[in-house]
Amino acid sequence: MATQTINRNAGIPLDMGWVRATTVNRSATERRAATLGSRRSVKKDWQAAWLLRAITMIDLTTLAGDDTPGKVTRLCAKARQPLRQDLIDALEVGSLKLTVGAVCVYHQRVQDAIAALRGSGIPVAAVSTGFPAGLNPFPQRIEEIHQSVEAGADEIDIVISREHVLRGDWKALYDEVCEMRRACGDAHMKTILATGELGPLWHVAQASKVCMMAGADFIKTSTGKESVNATLEAGLTMAREIRAYQGLTGYKVGFKPAGGIRSAKDALNWLILIKEELGDEWLSKQLFRFGASGLLTDIERQLSHHASGRYAASHHMPMA
């Protein structure tokens, strides 16, 4: 698919009427999410094509206390060539020049990632603003954004203050995200809602609306550190708010599920959700990303089975 030109979400004034009018039919949402993987079946060459597309939308991520320059360098090498050369040859996809969507790291490793990715065109994303809890003093959280942007990060994954959602203080949430958006400057801002900690689905829907009105380029389900991370129910709720926001403003906002997405089957379910709810336009790295560290290994394993008819051991396609 050719690269789209996306007009960046400029945000709009806070519309409290739209926020207060939010309703979500939980049982209907759960039923819809439960049928996503059973109503459609993607097999053989089509499945391989979908999985190849999924690779290009992965934010290949390492967010661990033992991250080192060497570990990040190895991860970036995998980002540059996400499939083994023999698989590329067997699938005859060398002309696609596959890479992942981005590499996501802590601020301390931003410059290591930039150095390892130089010339590849792969953006570097930095988690910021007191990731994952978002409970650092607010000036410190803003300064984190400035420092990551100055270090060269192309994208900033920020976390919201969950208490604003839980207390229904939508003005505070709007003002917070607006200031973070200003701090990001030209770097794209992915706004993490931490949906597993927001309570009912209508809170997820309301938080999605407020963050988009405040100028979020993407809305993201989770940090990956919560006890409940990306769920199809939350994703369905957020996708429908993205669609409603586009209808209201004309802006296309991206979506990123993150946390717990480890299998090729998981990836296919998310792609089906996006295709059915938002359309083919969103099936690109400009508007959709997976936040994942282990997903690529299983996708590579499934593609190996497609090429050879046999399942390879996971250590035959290590991440680093």
Two tokens, residue 32: 């819809």
- Look up 220 and say whether it is catalytic: yes
- 157: nearest Cα among 72, 242, 217: 217
- 195: nearest Cα among 120, 137, 257: 257
- Catalytic hit among 78, 209, 220, 285: 220
**Which one-letter amino acid corresponds to residue 70?**
G
Two tokens, residue 76: 């970036």
First-last CA distance in the chain: 29
- Catalytic hit among 78, 190, 252, 256: 256
- Catalytic hit among 59, 112, 157, 266: 157
Q: How many CB atoms neighbour CB 317 within 10 A?
A: 20
**Which residue bears the tokens 């508007």?**
287
- Look up 157 and say whether it is catalytic: yes
Q: Could you write out the DSSP letters of every residue in 112-148?
A: HHHHHHTTS---EEEE-SSTTTT-S-HHHHHHHHHHH
Residues 6+ apart with CB under 8 A from 144: 107, 128, 129, 130, 136
**Which residue bears the tokens 């060539």?**
81
Where is 105: in which H helix or E strand? Answer: strand 102-105
List, in sequence order, every residue forming a beta bridge with 103; answer none if it has no partner: 60, 124
How far is 256 from 229, CA to CA, in rounded Å? 12
- Residues marked active site are found at 157, 220, 256
